[in-house]
Amino acid sequence: MLVRCLYASRPTPSIQGAALDKILEQSRKNNPALGITGLLCVSDNLFIQVIEGGRDEVCELFNAIVRDDRHQQVRILSYEEITERRFGGWTMGQVSIAKLNPSLLLKYFKRVELDPFDCSGQATMSLLGELVATASILNRGD
């Protein structure tokens, strides 16, 4: 059974540059063997991540993220059983939130601010879906 988990968290101050690159490198190395695909959106004070795969693998990975001291305020925005992957081509794609078009944010959020803690998981997932469709700002990582 496949599932998709969308969550948001706040990075600790130590997560910058090389530390973020290390997280992505580890994800891209370990995820294929686990059957995990997904997308990570990052900014100075926000992570939004979608992880897809088998139920056990996604749950174990999410539990590891919750225990990881590099994350604070980890919140599930959406968790669902799926019939197909939306991010099957990404071992872990990356989006820089700083590159988002303000009009795209207004399409899904009440202000020109990406705040997944103050909106529906569906709105956040719709934004990510649109980003994938316009993959020009994605770093696919495969």
> Which residues, 6+ apart, have CB-to-CB distance to 105 below 8 Å?
111, 112, 113, 114, 127
Which pLDDT does position 140 carry in this prediction? 45
**CA–CA separation, 73 and 8 (whole Å):** 8
**Range in 2-11, 12-21, 23-32 the model is least confident about:** 12-21
54 touches 1 (CB < 8 A): yes
pLDDT average, residue stretch 128-134: 79
Question: What letter would DSSP give residue 66?
Answer: H
pLDDT one-digit tens code per residue, 28-86:
788 888 999 988 887 778 889 999 999 999 999 999 999 988 889 999 999 999 999 98
Average of per-residue pLDDT across 3-9: 97
Query: Residue 136: pLDDT above 50?
Result: no
Q: For residue 142, what pLDDT is reported?
A: 46
Amino acid at position 65, single letter? I
135 vs 31 pLDDT, higher one: 31
Q: What is the pLDDT of residues 88-117, one digit of tens each?
A: 876 666 676 777 788 888 899 888 888 899
pLDDT (0 to 100) of residue 17: 64
Q: What is the pLDDT of residue 26?
A: 79
Mean pLDDT throughout 2-27?
80
